[in-house]
Amino acid sequence: MAKLVFDIETTALPLANFDEVQQEYLLREAEKIPDETARATKRGEIERQFSLWPLTAQVVCIAMVNADTQRGQVLFIAEDFEEDAVEGGPVEFMPCADELELLTAFWDVAKHYDEIVTFNGRGFDVPFLYLRSAVLNVPISKKNWLGYRFATEPHCDLAEQFTFYNVSGREGAARRFNLDFYCKAFGIDSPKAHGVTGMDVGKLLAEGKHREIAEYCLRDVRATVELYRVWKERLAGIK
């Protein structure tokens, strides 16, 4: 059965998007600090975390690839969204006007797949997509992707598979590493090896470098496809 491998990139919404009560709630821990310098540092830390929360951030890119055919699409928000889709080998790059269009297009593709593969998708990508779609009232075509944690169907989350569902905690033999570390350990081309990381997405968006974000996200997905093959061939079935 065909499996959809995907990854998302997110960026924080401006603090000005939230009213005074929301801002007070978000920055409450910082405002408790009496020292002005330390308070400003804490505020900066909190604002950088905005990109991790679906109520304070938006999805700006989703890359997806069929694990079997290697064909796929990269949906990304871009100022030049009226341009035609651009072929990138077996993957099509599709600029979108905004997050609403991006999420609508994603769920239209997703409805054709019964199974997905992610890296940390159960902890981040899927709940983020669900909540952002709900906020924007975008119909969700697949509502079972969180599913039963101790199963690989319909959702195989490699971050859980390579830790055997966190069997040994934070510091044990099966401790969790990031995608970059797993890729290097198994001889897979790391998406971080090309000079861009997830921390750069906000800056790239501000600079109008939308295609660079799209290409980085696609590298993440291609690395996830290769890591999935390693897991399937060498580790699948271990309980």
Residue 150 inside a domain? The answer is: yes
Residue 172 inside a domain? The answer is: yes
What H or E segment, with its residue span, contains residue 96?
Answer: strand 91-96
CATH number, domain of 7, equals 3.30.420.10
Q: Residue 80 corresponds to which tokens in the numbers above?
A: 């030049």
Is the model more confident about 8 or about 148? 8
Instruction: Say what the pLDDT of residue 193 is.
Output: 76
Residue 48 inside a domain? The answer is: no
- pLDDT above 60: residue 87: no
Residue found under tokens 């997405």: 201
The pLDDT tens digits for 101-118 are 999 999 999 999 999 999
Instruction: Say what the pLDDT of residue 83 is.
Output: 59
Residue 221 inside a domain? The answer is: yes
Instruction: Say what the pLDDT of residue 85 is.
Output: 56
Instruction: Say what the pLDDT of residue 170 is.
Output: 86
Query: In the chain, which residue ranges form alpha helices assigned H by DSSP?
Result: 20-26, 28-31, 36-49, 99-110, 126-135, 158-161, 179-185, 201-206, 210-234
The pLDDT tens digits for 18-77 are 999 999 999 999 999 999 999 999 999 999 999 999 999 999 999 999 999 999 999 999
Instruction: Say what the pLDDT of residue 10 is.
Output: 97
The pLDDT tens digits for 160-176 are 999 999 998 888 999 99
Q: In the chain, helix, strand, coil percent, each to 5?
A: 45, 20, 40
The parent domain of residue 204 ranges over 3-12+59-234
Domain count, the chain: 1
CB atoms within 10 A of CB 153: 12
Residue 37 inside a domain? The answer is: no
Residue 43 inside a domain? The answer is: no
Residue 39 inside a domain? The answer is: no
Residue 27 inside a domain? The answer is: no
The arithmetic mean of pLDDT across residues 139-158, rounded, is 95
DSSP state of 40: H
pTM equals 0.93
